[in-house]
A and B are shown apart, each in its own frame.
Chain A
């Protein structure tokens, strides 16, 4: 590069300092003036709107707070105390049922433990400098479900499925060790082990061998320990409430994700048979209302299966919801992939990457990043869609909210539980969308232009 020659006699350019806006053009009063009381018409409009809001909010406040009854043992008692108020005592009485459905009271700790384990499992993803995040995420999708089902369902498990469930324990321990090591020493467990076994100068994939051995040992230990106790069997029919809502929403999202990606790849395939069958499947399932699909899975699926196949209603609902979510995800993934410039494929091909590795290493990571906001929207939608399983006779949160009003002692208690459910769903969905927005901002911060 050529050196730039400057002389001391050259005039010097100094940028002007920035100044604040004039006093009348900023601050709270300016905001009120321009937004609410800009002209006589806008002033009238503001006042009318305020009056309308007040006339709705005031009676609601009286019902929900001023006249509300917080302590009572039946709905009759609520009425005796105050006819015009909300009977929150009922919601408080049924609160545990809303969370767990008919899950036996003495076994509810298992549902809690499952949730805590999931949070523990996912936690390393949000910690800084953790280098095994991909493993954490993959095992959460592939291994954790076995552990969760082992915990929730209980009963006597044969050796092989039991080993799969206990593999979950092994991964939870190893993932955490690896995460802590990579935070403190900048090398994860696989790299440490590889160093001890003298594999450091080999290809990264050889680092897997010591890890596999470690998992085998830990899993075997966990299996032996697991035979020392038996969890009472809790059939899926008595799973319910918010617990069931979470089970359905999370597992159908997890199942839908890989199916959706494969369908999207299939729809973009060069092979006509793959492309046409994927497109047909997507279009057929997409044009069906979810309720119809759920009924079809419940009523029609057993007809196609060999006689005597036992069906579990939860499993059927999961299949229906997963397929439904998967086809929508497929379209999201497809649009995400379309946003990736052709040049990225070409650069990957020119370096010698084949289709699958180019997709996995180059295209998908970028596409998933652009898709984050839409994905979050879909998972929110999925969480709300789970309420439809109450139509096919499952007692998820919505099902349980309706059950309480059918109880003789609390007959007719519908408004309060439904309002409670509304608030609960709003809180859950709102936090998910806040998190989605956060992801979106962070994503654009990394790859954003200058």
Chain B
């Protein structure tokens, strides 16, 4: 395993991003990350550096490891080899570091995962109350501010099951924002939604992207990727095949695998 200093100065011709960016602005740094599910090698030598405020879209066929990659960033999945440093804390099984990382990284799931026994407002205030130890009135005000930002303050006292999928996903975004994260992870946030509701969630995400928060987003919404992403990462077979700004990615993809993928998702 490379030591920390080596990892920071690593220079590889095929990964120009890593060398060219000033290290103090890097909020997520993955170096040669490998992960196996039993015998299945799901992440292979993944190296990635994300700078502050960068908006990254990960795409690729199913099983390509993109979801696993972002789940490694807040340690919902454990990597077995390589190094991941998030907000200056190294993810190596040290519980303090994991807590520190999770406090700064918000996550939005494909299946919303709202707490069904709590109201929308309680969903948003649970973590600020118990982890940030915030007074109740302050937590409520904070939650209402974010619920307004995702445009559902009027649903605050309903239970998740009473909301539509799009509304639930917007609550999930507000819940993540209430912990004041500097990095947001989105795991296919619109894949479980009815087509009618995709745009209401994407609108909120576009707004967030414009606010300057660091975002890593696994999605198949190529319109969204083209509009907000600073960089698109294409993965296949657990490897990063190609990464480029959207214009370049869509118009002049280099690798044949990328071209095939793009022709399949855009062609029909």
Question: Are B179 and A343 in contact (CB-based, < 8 A)?
Answer: no
What residues of chain A lie closer than 8 Å to B127, measured between beta carbons?
351-353
Q: A201-B137, A448-B161, A450-B161 are contacts. A353–B116 as well, Cβ < 8 Å?
A: no
Which B99-126 residues have a C-beta within 8 angstroms of A? 99, 102-103, 105-107, 109, 111, 113-117, 126
Size bracket, chain B contacts: 35 or more
Stretch binding the partner chain, chosen from B128-136, B217-225, B260-268: B128-136
Partner of A449, one of B76, B114, B126, B161: B161
Q: With both chains docked as a complex, state the minimum distance between the C-beta of B199 and any C-beta of chain A, in angstroms.
A: 7
User: How close is A189's CB to chain B, nearest CB, in angstroms?
Assistant: 16
B161 touches A357 (CB 8 A): no
Q: Which residues of B contact A203 (CB under 8 A)?
A: 133-135
* Smallest CB separation, B172 vs chain A (Å): 8
A450 / chain B contacts, CB cutoff of 8 Å? 161-162
Interfacial chain B residues near A366, Cβ < 8 Å = 115-117
A34 interface hit (Cβ, 8 Å)? no
Q: Tell me, rounded to whole Å, the shortest Cβ–Cβ distance linking B253 to chain A.
A: 31
Q: Given A350-B102, A366-B117, do A343 and B109 touch, yes or no (CB 8 Å)? A: yes
Q: State the CA gap A348–B117 with chains docked (Å).
A: 13
**Which residues of chain A come closer than 8 Å to B92, judged between CB atoms?**
none
**Is B81 part of the binding interface, using a Cβ–Cβ cutoff of 8 Å?**
no
**A202:B135 contact, CB within 8 angstroms:** yes
Q: Does A161 contact B (CB under 8 A)?
A: no
B116 A361 Cβ-Cβ under 8 A: no
- By beta carbon, the residue of chain A nearest B164 is A450
- Closest residue of B by beta carbon distance from A362: B115
Tell me whether chain A's interface is mostly helix, strand or loop, or mixed.
helix
Q: Considering the complex, which residues of chain A in the window 343-378 have a beta carbon less than 8 Å from any beta carbon of chain B?
A: 343-344, 346-354, 357, 361-362, 365-366, 369
Q: Does A305 count as interface, using CB distance less than 8 angstroms? A: no
Q: Are A447 and B199 in contact (CB under 8 A)?
A: no
- Chain A residue at minimum C-beta to C-beta distance from B99: A352
B134 and A352 within 8 A (CB): no
Contact of B199 with A1 in the complex, beta carbons under 8 Å? yes
Smallest Cβ-Cβ distance to B199: which chain A residue: A1
Known contacts A1-B200, A351-B102; is-contact A346 B115 (Cβ 8 Å): no
Does the CB pair B76–A204 fall under 8 Å? no
| Contact A350-B76, Cβ < 8 Å, known A200-B137, A202-B135, A450-B162 | yes
Verify B135–A201 contact, CB threshold 8 A: yes
Point out the residues of chain A lying under 8 angstroms from B99, CB to CB: 352, 354
Closest A-chain residue to B185, C-beta based?
A350
Contacts of B161 in A (CB 8 A): 447-450
Of B102, B113, B176, B203, the most chain A CB neighbours within 10 A belong to B113
Does B250 sit at the interface, judged by CB under 8 A?
A: no
Closest 9 CB pairs of A and B: A347-B113, A343-B113, A350-B107, A351-B127, A352-B102, A203-B133, A365-B117, A449-B161, A352-B131
Which of B74, B126, B176, B199 touches A361 (beta carbons < 8 Å)?
B126
- Picked from B76, B103, B133, B134, the residue with its CB within 8 Å of the CB of A346 is B76
Binding site for A on B (CB under 8 A): 74, 76, 99, 102-103, 105-107, 109, 111, 113-117, 126-127, 129-131, 133-138, 159, 161-162, 172, 175-176, 179, 199-200, 203
Cα distance, A336 to B159, chains bound together (Å): 21
Q: Within the complex, what minimum Cβ distance (angstroms) separates A152 from chain B? A: 37
Q: How far apart sit A365 and B117, CA to CA, in the bound complex (Å)?
A: 7
Interface membership of A52, Cβ < 8 A = no
Q: Does A160 contact B (CB under 8 A)?
A: no
A343 neighbours in B (Cβ, 8 Å):
109, 111, 113
Name which residue of chain B comes closest to A365, CB basis.
Answer: B117
User: Can you show 5 pairs from A to B with CB atoms below 8 A apart?
Assistant: A1-B203, A2-B199, A202-B135, A347-B115, A369-B117
Alpha-carbon distance between A205 and B159 when the two chains are bound, in angstroms:
26
Contact pattern, A 375-401, Cβ under 8 Å of B = 1, otherwise 0 = 000000000000000000000000000
Interchain CA distance A198-B233 in the complex, whole Å: 53
Residue ranges of A at the interface with B (Cβ–Cβ < 8 Å): 1-2, 200-205, 341, 343-344, 346-354, 357, 361-362, 365-366, 369, 446-450
Q: Which residues of B contact A341 (CB under 8 A)?
A: 111, 113
The answer to whether A351 and B131 have CB atoms under 8 Å apart is yes
CB proximity of A129 to chain B, nearest CB, Å? 14
The complex places the Cα of A446 from the Cα of B199 at a distance, in Å, of: 29
Chain A residues with CB under 8 Å of B109's CB are 343, 346-347, 350
Distance A393 CA – B136 CA, assembled complex (angstroms): 55
A349 and B111 alpha carbons, distance in the complex (Å): 15
* Complex CA–CA separation, A353 to B107 (angstroms): 13
Q: Is the CB of A361 within 8 A of B102?
A: no
Complex Cα distance, B136 from A202, in Å, reads 8
Nearest Cβ in chain A — how far from B41, in angstroms? Answer: 23
> Smallest CB-CB separation from A352: which chain B residue?
B102
Across-interface contacts of B107 in A (CB, < 8 A): 347, 350
Q: Roughly how many angstroms separate A58 CA and B159 CA in the complex, as a whole number?
A: 55
**Residue in B113, B135, B159, B172 whose CB lies within 8 Å of A204:** B135
B134: chain A residues at CB < 8 Å are 203
User: Across the interface, which residues of A come within 8 angstroms of B176, CB to CB?
Assistant: 350-351
Q: Give bound CA distance, A191 to B106, whole Å.
A: 32
Closest chain B residue, CB of each to CB of A346 = B76
Q: Cβ of A348: which chain B residues have Cβ within 8 Å of it?
A: 115
Q: Which residue of A lies closest to B104 (CB)?
A: A352
- Residues of B contacting A1 in the complex (Cβ-Cβ under 8 angstroms): 199-200, 203
Nearest-CB residue, chain A, relative to B172: A347
Q: Is the CB of A351 within 8 A of B175?
A: yes
Residue of B nearest to A343 (CB): B113
Q: Which residues of A contact B76 (CB under 8 A)?
A: 346, 349-350
Looking across the interface, which residue of chain B has its beta carbon closest to that of A199?
B135
Please give the distance in Å from A206's CB to the nearest CB on chain B: 9
Shortest distance from the beta carbon of B241 to any chain A beta carbon, whole Å: 27
* Nearest residue, chain A, Cβ from B115: A362
Q: Contacts A352-B99, A352-B102, A352-B127; is A347 near B137 (CB within 8 Å)?
A: no
Whether B159 contacts A446 by the Cβ 8 Å rule is: yes
Given A351-B102, A352-B102, A352-B127: A346 touches B135 (CB 8 Å cut-off): no
Least Cβ–Cβ distance between B103 and chain A, in angstroms: 5
B114→A347 contact, CB < 8 A? yes
Known pairs A1-B200, A200-B137, A344-B113; A447 contacts B159 (CB<8 A): yes
Residues of B contacting A349 in the complex (Cβ-Cβ under 8 angstroms): 74, 76, 102
A347 to B118, CA, bound (A): 14
Whether B116 pairs with A447 at a CB distance below 8 angstroms is yes
